[in-house]
Every structure is written in C-alpha cells, then in structure tokens.
Amino acid sequence: MTKAEFISALAEVLETAPEKLTTSTDLTGFECWDSTAVINLLVVFDEHGIKIEEDKIRDCKTVQDLMDLTGGKIQ
C-alpha cells in the first residue's frame, strides 16, 4: 500500500479530503474518529493484507502513528 493510497482511504474513513491529512494530523480532531472509523480502517488494512489489532489503532493519535503500526507496509 502506498502512502497516497493510505491517505486517500483514511480520508474516506474520516470523511475529509485527502489534502487535509498530513503525517502529523491529529486524529482526535475529527468528530467521526470513533469505533466505526476504527472498524472501517481495520477493513482497509485487511484488504491490503495488513493485520493490526483494534486496540492498537485506538491508541493512535496521529496519521503517522497509524502508518507506524503497519511495520513499514505503507510506503
């Protein structure tokens, strides 16, 4: 998964435009960053063969935190 693909998918989950997301974007600033968003993000990861535990996603504060969870699978 490329970084651009991830940002685009995450923007869809967060109901925002991809250009509004950077690696330092604070996820907690999005009203829709909730349990449904976490599930939707798990689906995105799963579709790309990336296995992440739900609790670890919940602990993420920034876009970079989410990317770091993948262990380099987002490039």
pLDDT at 75: 85
pLDDT band at 46 (very low <50, low <70, confident <90, very high): very high
Quote the pTM value.
0.91
Distance in angstroms (rounded) separating the CA atoms of residues 8 and 16:
9
Kindly list the structural domains of the chain, giving each domain's residue range(s) and its CATH number in brackets, ordered by start: 3-69 (1.10.1200.10)
- Identify which of 46, 47, 45, 49 has the alpha carbon closest to the alpha carbon of residue 66: 45
Average confidence (pLDDT) over 39-63: 94
Token pair for 52: 């992440």
Q: Which of 17-21, 38-42, 70-74 has the lowest mean pLDDT?
A: 70-74
Do 5 and 18 meet the contact criterion of CB atoms below 8 Å apart? no
Distance in angstroms (rounded) separating the CA atoms of residues 60 and 57:
5
